[in-house]
Structure 1
């Protein structure tokens, strides 16, 4: 059911009045018809319509800026089909005819964030921008990113992380350790919580470090557990890794997005890091998906997490693009 539209927000740029508001059902053809001519990720009409039908995009999560009845800016927030609130901003576009694109984009984000908060969202959705490798060296890509970054920061999404997006396909081969040292076991949620807590200590993952600093180890572990339980992947795929003497070495969580299998979460407990166990954990996840016939496995890791990036390279995962992620600070 479509939520009744919020009161439009007036906006002016170079003397031209605009209205900022969530879309109505009658707007959706115009929203879908918007095209982005900049070299950054955006949502084309066919994907928007398909995921609108599955309630992953929704009119109330689609915000537009209107000038003389024409859509000159749009923000498309995405969420899970059964979700109550949007999780991520997938597309932010302001027409090149607008004098200050960053200013209008900022106001559009702020208007959306305010509406989501009034509807009970605990925090603003994050913003994902997908870019080509080496994007800083391409003036057109750098310019397209600059005003979007300015808007995201001004709208309160001030935690900025750059991530590698990686892919594995069957032609890359299933990694098989020469001399496996770990065995993999099913375990209860409580057992996984213990390992999540241990892995968080000293993690190089930016999101884990942010949550650990803001909420502590227990809350961070529960957040990770709940997040991966809510993902499309099966809970039955999860494994805890043990050494030959039964010592817990880490965990491996094959997961999935709404689009394909992915490497959800893996980590080694602090006292066993530096021994190459990460390769066996990643190999277990890859084998798990490959055994179910996966034709594509995706993964991401922070550019600052050099050991994890190196492990992906050793396992045959290829870096296909860059993701810039902007999020609000954790309370």
Structure 2
């Protein structure tokens, strides 16, 4: 058995892999399109092969301009393999080890997209189980369950209370607000980053990440109370596929007063005025206040995502 990153000569075999389990996976057309753009790369695509046959495949994804991948998008092990989890873990470990040797300071996440209500589908449970075992065995032992939500025009624009004003700001001003809202955040990724690298570095990483996203920097807003005090931030953003909510938050001293509804309403308004007819969002299932805010704003749950990551040191 050989585990290795792919080369251009492997392309036909890589794209011929199909996943018939009820989980999210990357179709050949999408892989080829994003391969041209640099979001998938041969060196980020790993296979396990035996006698010329691909028995497992792992597709890591990253920004087109990024040096290292950000997430494992699709993990496949042929059903004929008796120990699917073991081979999957071996392949993921090999890829993560290579990325670390190449200078990556933060290991990519593993995102597994599942249909809503997947726990009631035995096939989805089985597909998840071996992938969970593989992720854990590969060292990605922190897990968060996230909801993917969608807003469409038929939901109507959420109504703002008018208590906040929204202004533009410098990168340094946004960085300062990120530092403040990271304190006591219920968002699992924010908590993990703070534990891993501290508030300062975690805030800088968030700003850098959203600056690198396809969304417009001009959409960003700082939320302020009538007396001019900072209440939070609204970062409408985009992925290569959809407009999205991006990031929002309220400073600790003003939480619990309903300001999150106003911030989310502002993000939705900005996106709609920029032409969005579909806005996506994610939040942790453990973050009940944020999930409730999305529901009030007309965002509906479309999918569930399990996210495994390396634990904070």
User: In which range does the TM-score fall when normalised by the shorter chain?
Assistant: over 0.9
How many residues get paired? Answer: 313
2:171 is the alignment partner of 1:204: no
2:247 is the alignment partner of 1:270: no
- TM-score normalised to the size of structure 1? 0.92
Q: Which one of 66, 79, 89 corresponds to residue 72 of structure 2?
A: 89
Q: Which one of 101, 125, 145 corresponds to residue 162 of structure 1?
A: 145
C-alpha separation in 2, matches of 1:52 and 1:113: 20
2:102 is the alignment partner of 1:119: yes
2:269 is the alignment partner of 1:287: yes
C-alpha separation in 2, matches of 1:228 and 1:147: 33
C-alpha separation in 1, matches of 2:117 and 2:307: 16
- TM-score normalised to the size of structure 2? 0.97
Summarize the alignment of residues 61-72 of structure 1 with structure 2, pairs less than 5 Å apart: 61-72=44-55
How far the C-alpha of 1:168 sits from its partner, in A, is 0.8
How far the C-alpha of 1:214 sits from its partner, in A, is 3.0
Find runs of 4+ consecutive structure 1 residues off by over 4 angstroms: none
Q: Which one of 114, 126, 132 corresponds to residue 143 of structure 1?
A: 126
Q: Which one of 170, 192, 195 corresponds to residue 188 of structure 1?
A: 170
Residue matched to 1:101: 84
2:204 is the alignment partner of 1:222: yes
2:242 is the alignment partner of 1:260: yes
Offset from partner CA, 1:51-87 (integer Å, 9 cap, x none): 1111111111111111221111100111111111111
C-alpha separation in 2, matches of 1:228 and 1:52: 22
Contiguous gaps of at least 5 residues in structure 2: none
Q: Equivalent residue of 2:249, what SS?
A: strand
How far the C-alpha of 1:194 sits from its partner, in A, is 1.9
How far the C-alpha of 1:112 sits from its partner, in A, is 0.8
C-alpha separation in 2, matches of 1:224 and 1:19: 37
Q: Which one of 201, 215, 228 corresponds to residue 233 of structure 1?
A: 215
Residue matched to 1:247: 229
How far the C-alpha of 1:215 sits from its partner, in A, is 2.7
RMSD of aligned residue pairs (Cα, Å): 1.1
Offset from partner CA, 1:257-305 (integer Å, 9 cap, x none): 1111111111111111111110000000000010011111110000000
2:305 is the alignment partner of 1:323: yes
For the pair shown, which has the larger CA radius of gyration, 1 or 2?
Answer: 1
**How has the CA–CA distance of structure 1 residues 294 and 125 changed in structure 2, closer, same or farther, with 3 Å as cutoff?**
same
Q: Which one of 297, 302, 308 corresponds to residue 290 of structure 2?
A: 308
C-alpha separation in 1, matches of 2:88 and 2:145: 21
C-alpha separation in 1, matches of 2:14 and 2:175: 43
Contiguous gaps of at least 5 residues in structure 1: 1-17
Q: Equivalent residue of 1:123, what SS?
A: coil
How far the C-alpha of 1:31 sits from its partner, in A, is 0.8
Moved more, 319-328 or 116-125: 116-125
C-alpha separation in 2, matches of 1:203 and 1:183: 22
Offset from partner CA, 1:23-64 (integer Å, 9 cap, x none): 121111111011111111111111111111111111111111
Q: Equivalent residue of 1:84, what SS?
A: coil
Q: Equivalent residue of 2:275, what SS?
A: coil
